[in-house]
Structure 1
């Protein structure tokens, strides 16, 4: 619940700011990728400024998610190994329980009335 509240407090104002910046910056800008000749039209892209804002936000989200996913790989692997081992021990316990029940049925004499 606290995590939801923190997400709302952080992401709602961030979204509002992004929308306000998008509406305020609709003019076309040129992103030049050639540092030696900025007027080179081959390595430049012209688009409204808010497109670049949204692309930067999307790339940041994707890169952040990828880094998080890769850094948490060891935890996922450990959880997977522990789940497999727990399943193995659960099967072993069931096997031992069924063997114990078989032994109990064969060694106990039938009740006398």
Structure 2
């Protein structure tokens, strides 16, 4: 069902992208020299659709990097909690072994830990 909905959404987007590329094949000059109007020192001739696609791709990359950097605190907190969880599980296991070794003849065991991984 999810695959069908993805196709239903992505197919019209793909059609629009192809139509955009076909309709905007004419070359445009991308100038990196803001001070020269006539003959810019740093310029590039490219199709308009390539310029648009490059701008969208750059926006996706910059947005992804910004999102990744913004979630640094969450990742750090998750790592710290994972270390604490491993330490507490080790301590619980040590206490289980200690309690069964201290009281000989008893089979009292702590319940097994709940695995959430």
TM normalised by structure 1 equals: 0.78
Please name the residue that 2:71 is paired with: 72
Which residue is equivalent to 1:31?
30
1:85-96 aligned within 5 A: 85-96=84-95
Structure number with the bigger relative contact order (C-alpha 8 A, sep ≥ 6) is 1
Unaligned segments of structure 1, at least 5 residues:
none
State the structure with more CA Rg.
Answer: 1
Q: Which has the higher helix share?
A: 1
Shift of 1:77: 0.5
Structure 2 distance, partners of 1:12, 1:62, is 23
* Cα distance between partner residues in 2 of 1:39 and 1:12: 42
Partner of 1:45 in structure 2?
44
Question: Is the CA contact (8 Å cut-off) linking 2:32 and 2:42 kept in structure 1?
Answer: yes
Question: Structure 1 stretches (4+) deviating beyond 6 angstroms?
Answer: none
Q: Distance in 2 between matches of 1:15 and 1:71?
A: 30
Q: Aligned Cα RMSD in Å?
A: 2.5
Shift of 1:13: 4.3
Aligned length: 105
